[in-house]
Amino acid sequence: MERDRTTHEEEEDDGGGDWGSRSSSYTDCSSCCSSDLEPEWLESVQRNGELFYLELSEEEEETLLNSQGVNHVRFCENEAEMISGDVKKDKKTEPRFKKLAKILKNKHLGKKGSTRINSQARPTSILKHQPSQKTGMIVHQQYKDICLYVNPNRLLEIGPNEKLNLLQALIGIVHQSSRTSKLMERQGKCDAVHKWTSNEKLVIHGLIPESPAARSRQILIGDTLIAVNDVEVNAENIERVLSCIPGPMQVKLTFETSVYDAQIQPPRLNDEAQPSMNHLTKLIWGEEHASHLRVVQTIPHIAMYLTLRLESDTLKEEQEILYRYPVSEASQKLKNIRGLFLTLSDMLQNVSGSRIVSSSLILNKQLVHVSYWKESDRLFLISVPAERVSLLHLKNMTADLVRTIKFMYSSLDRAFCQAENVPRLDHFFSLVFQQAVRLSILNANPGHGPHYYDASSAHIVENLPGVRWLSLPEDVKMEIDTVLSDLEALDFAELSEDYYEMRRLYMILGTCLFYKGYLLANHLPKEDLLDIALYCRHYCLMSLASERIGQLVIWREVYPSFHLEKCGTPSKEEYSEPEARYFLLIVGMKHFMLCTLLEAGGCTSKAMGTPGPDYVYVDQLRATLLQLELLDASIEERLNASPNPCLSCADWFLPSAKDRFQSVVNSVMLNKTQTPKKTNFSLSRKSMTADSPSSLRTRRPSPSRSSRGSDHGSDGVMENTNITSHSTPELSRKIGRRESQGSGGSEGSGGSGSALKISKKRYTLPNPFNLGSLRRNLSEREAEDLYNTVKITSGTENTLFHYIYLETIQGVFIAPTHRDVEELGGSIHPQVIKNFHRCCMSIRSLFQQTLMEEKQSPSKADTCRDFTGLGPVKEHGILFECAPENWTDQKKTPPTMSYWAIGRLFLHPQPQEFYVCFHDSVTEVAVELAFKLSFGMPL
């Protein structure tokens, strides 16, 4: 106990707690890289054993370097001129620009009765001796000097009508005077010790993209610029000082960083999360994040954890607030009415006998929703304006947040009531709010690209109890499964128990593999998978992995509800979960991310204290990833394959300036008036081919076609891809040949049949999880084979725009890949997709109600009073109509295109949800048929 305290104090004395290490960690990691023995993330391991280490990929760094253009900036950082005569830090190293290691500081979770300090408590690795943490290296940093290369001849320009001052134009620092800065001050950005009485301080409110300041990556929002080349500056004289810079030169800027002086401020480190978080968000969202940050600051939002039980003897102010974020002016009003939340939650529970769910308020003429989560006498609530997050979404979001917090800290009480978690939670919630705001911003401006698709689908996709799944060819899938199984067996030399004759540290409960945010393989129970996916989503790892990871290592203790709940209840089953501790290890490399859930204490040795990541395991995971990387090509191939079921772009159904589309429209019109079967499929396919060469890309046929029906439907889907990618009119000859080739095996023709069928029925998605359906359909398909082969030459219309299919046994959902959507392009299409997802959110809210009722009363007594409104909703559809944008022809009324967004819920055998978006011209019979076929139900 004694020693524990001393180290703790030591750390405080180091100045500002471990947050000081944030800025020094860049430099630290450069030193550690010199030795091959120690992994570069070692320095980032925290006191409680947790690790969040992220490094950009090489390409990413290069693009960053290239983007600097002619301005070759020399970066150098003179560290630390300490006030109050502290230790002088003399490290003068070239800052490793490449390394953007981030530490999300967190102190250990309060192991009562542990008398050992962490380095001892950590179980020794089998292989190497882990060095103790270099606490001495962590130095509190009050001021930092940053040298920037500036060129007054090349001033930054943002827009013709926007005039920038020198601070913005030359260096790229945005400072907003007075009002905003006061806001910052309230947040405690400014050091309380130094009261600048005379002039307003130059607090950095934003960085201009591509500016020297932004590129340096060392200037943080919230820092205060106090000197330029040792000349003291403030808001008044800065322009004058800067105008004295004669020509291109290197200037030294001195900043006061936002690190607290621990001795003066109470250890409430709210704002400390901000800078470190800025890094993560900046990394993910690029320079946009500064503008997001600005928006976030102005909107009223709050996350609070309140207690209803008050200790009467200590009548402190605000004692009912156990946690809140953020501490900003915009959230002040929400904080002030906390009494209302408490009263309502208590009173309404007494009166109505049910838990409080949500409230709506009008605040500054803005509708603001509050969503609650009540557990015994504690109340967690989160509040966001309605225009940012719809109430439907907010309710689900709250449940997800609570789930993730419990996953990370075991319970809400443990998360919020321990002071050392505060900065970590601050970081967590600022990410949450920023994500929410970012989504609403992106959603407001329909555009293109994967970001937009992400944003428009996020509201529904984020709350689905499933993970985005990418079906793979059977052989690739098998390979992945084998590699993962090998890893899970932990049978390699170093880890085998015989090797060192001691029990191994951890057992791998299961792994799941993500590629660019898609789930490729999962060897975990569904609940664990969802827990991990939620964690990754909340820390933006999914979007990160879709772009660029050099190296990612995450290690932390977790509390998976699935195992812990089972363990808690003494069950009569033969097997009960051992009393164990669980750890999450995520290793990422390039586009791959491998998540592993480790168990300590079951058949393995008990975990003591707060163990850090063991690098035998990390190395092993990395080796596995390297092995998997070989499959990169085939996965990419799958991603590049034309979408299946094939998709159409909404714009093809509207006339545009281009002539070639005219015919498409004609045939659509014809279609609607006459027989919907005679169609423009060939035309739309042609235009698609013209647009995207990728649709001609072929996939190598998978050699193994299992009639097992494949547990994840990869073969059915993949075979289809194979053929549809050929099925352009020009290549119809090829099809015929393939047909004859394929006739040898029944599966072959079955596959092709289904492909043709799909193009006929537009959106048939073979049920990938139902063995029966595939088999059953086989004969049907064969029967229709001939018919279809004939059909394809004349072509058939493809009217499917988008779909989402959720399967709850596996906890996965399937939707078109980002690339599918991107390739379709179009100007109306993104809007269609956006509306579709918004509809899904609404449809799903009805389904959720149905599912809840189903859970409550499975055998519904059909009494008179028991009905509720619509009753259990099974299907819900909405028809939209749209006209082309920029319709110039005044004489004619613009043509319209109608499309359906439909959701269906299948309760049996297991809940499945299916959402589709398709053109109106589909006959009703075809819709019915497709739904039934796709789920293998008798017609």
Partner 1 sequence: MEGSSVFLLCLTASSGVPLYCRSKRSSRQLTFSVIGSLNGVHMFANNQDVLLTSTRTENSRVLWRTFHESINLIVMSCDSNASDHSLNRLLENVFSTMVLVIGLDDLMNIKNVERLKKDLRACYKLIDSFLTESEKIGDLTQCVDCVISNDSVILQECLDGFTQAAESEFGCLLIGGKVVVATEKWWRLASLDAMLLCWLVSSLSPHSSRDYPVYLPQGSPTVPHRLLTFQLVPGVDVCILCGPSPSLQKVELELVERFWKPVLDPVKSCLRLQLRSFPISLNLHQGILGFLLINRDLNKSLYTVQVHPFEDTQRSDIKCILEHRRASLRSFYTLTMLRYFSPEHHDGKIQYEEAFPEGFTHQAHQCYVVSSSHKCYATKTDLHFLFLLFKTNVPTFSMRAIANKTMQVFTKEFNF
Contact between 354 and partner 1 by CB under 8 A: the answer reads yes
CB atoms within 10 A of CB 519: 24
Nearer to partner 1, 36 or 318 (CB): 318
Q: Is the four-CA dihedral 15, 17, 22, 27 of positive or negative sign?
A: positive
Distance CA 440, CA 388 (A): 5
Of positions 62, 870, 887, 910, contacts partner 1 by CB under 8 A? 870
Q: What string of DSSP letters covers 805-833?
A: EEETTTTEEE---HHHHHHH--SSHHHHH
Closer to partner 1 by Cβ: residue 104 or 356: 356
Among the candidate windows 23-31, 127-135, 504-512, 868-876, which touches partner 1 by CB under 8 A?
868-876
Burial 735-762 (b: 16+ CB within 10 A, else e): beebbeebeeeebbbbbbbbbbbbbbbb
CB of 392 to partner 1, least distance (A): 8
Q: How far apart are CA 572 and CA 579, in angstroms?
A: 16
Peptide bond into 884 cis (omega under 30): no
Q: Closest distance between partner 1 and the C-beta of residue 930, in Å?
A: 12
List 347, 502, 633, 783, residue binding partner 1 (CB under 8 A): 347
Residue 851 as a binder of partner 1 (CB under 8 A): the answer is: no
In the chain, the amino acid numbered 317 is: E
From the CB of 772, what's the least distance to partner 1, in Å? 24
**Is 298 one of the binding residues for partner 1 (CB under 8 A)?**
no
890 part of the interface to partner 1, by CB under 8 A: no
Site for partner 1 (CB under 8 A): how many residues? 65
355 binds partner 1 (CB under 8 A): yes
Nearer to partner 1, 493 or 925 (CB): 925
Q: How far is the CB of 332 from partner 1 (least distance, A)?
A: 10
The region of 552-560, 626-634, 772-780, 835-843 touching partner 1 under the rule CB under 8 A is: 835-843
Spatial neighbors of 34 by CB under 8 A, at least 6 apart, are none
CB of 369 to partner 1, least distance (A): 7
Candidates 178-186, 355-363, 599-607, 784-792 — which segment interacts with partner 1 by CB under 8 A? Answer: 355-363
Q: Which two tokens mark 881?
A: 């109509």
**Looking at 503, 743, 871, 910, which residue binds partner 1 (CB under 8 A)?**
871
What is the rounded CA–CA span in Å between residue 322 and residue 418?
9
- Structure-token pair, residue 693: 């060469």
672 lies in the binding site for partner 1 (CB under 8 A): no
Closer to partner 1 by Cβ: residue 118 or 328: 328
Closest distance of CB 292 from partner 1, Å: 19
Give the phi and the psi of residue 373 in degrees, each rounded to 5.
-140, 110
Indicate whether 869 belongs to the interface with partner 1 (CB under 8 A).
Answer: yes
- Least Å distance, CB 649 to partner 1, is 15
Closest CA to 667 of 380, 921, 939: 921
Interface residues for partner 1 in 769-788 (CB under 8 A)?
Answer: none
Q: Please report how close the Cβ of residue 339 comes to partner 1 at its closest, in angstroms.
A: 7
43: left (phi over 0), alpha (psi -120 to 50) or beta: alpha
Piece in contact with partner 1 (CB under 8 A), picked from 353-361, 424-432, 738-746, 796-804: 353-361
Compose the 357-396 pattern: x for residues touching partner 1 by CB under 8 A, - for all others.
xxxxxxx-x-x-x----------------x---xxx----
Work out how close the CB of 184 gets to partner 1 at its nearest, in angstroms, rounded to a whole number.
23
User: Is residue 353 part of the contact set for partner 1 (CB under 8 A)?
Assistant: yes
- 339-346 long-range contacts, CB within 8 A, separation 24+: 341/304, 341/306, 341/370, 341/372, 341/379, 341/381, 342/306, 342/308, 342/379, 345/308, 345/372, 345/374, 345/379, 346/308
Q: Which of 258, 835, 912, 934 binds partner 1 (CB under 8 A)?
A: 835
**Structure token digits, residue 337:** 């009415």
Q: How far is the CB of 929 from partner 1 (least distance, A)?
A: 10
Host H or E run for residue 391: helix 391-409
Residue 882 CB, shortest distance to partner 1, in Å, is 4
User: Measured from the CB atom, is 478 or 929 closer to partner 1?
Assistant: 929
Burial readout 927-937 (b: 16 or more C-beta within 10 A, e: otherwise): bebbbebbbbe
Q: Which of 500, 787, 867, 887 binds partner 1 (CB under 8 A)?
A: 867
Q: For residues 851 and 872, give the distance between their C-alpha atoms in angstroms, rounded to a whole number.
A: 8
Nearer to partner 1, 741 or 896 (CB): 896
Residue 86 binds to partner 1 (criterion: CB under 8 A):
no
Q: Which amino acid is at 200?
A: E
Q: Which of 51, 40, 8 is nearest to 612 (CA)?
A: 51
Residue 349 CB, shortest distance to partner 1, in Å, is: 7
Buried b (16+ CB within 10 A) or exposed e, 156-194: eeeeeeeebebbbbbbbbbbeeeebbebbeebbbbbeee
Give the x-and-dash track for 417-456 against partner 1 (CB under 8 A): --------------------------x--x----------
- Using CB under 8 A as the binding rule, the residues of this chain from 793 to 832 that contact partner 1 are 831-832
From CA 852, how far away is CA 846, in angstroms rounded?
10
Identity of the residue, 166 or 839, whose beta carbon is nearer to partner 1 in the bound complex:
839
- By CB under 8 A, name the binding residues for partner 1: 333-334, 336-337, 339-340, 343-344, 347-349, 351-363, 365, 367, 369, 386, 390-392, 443, 446, 831-832, 834-835, 838, 842, 846, 850, 864-865, 867-882, 898, 923-925, 927-928
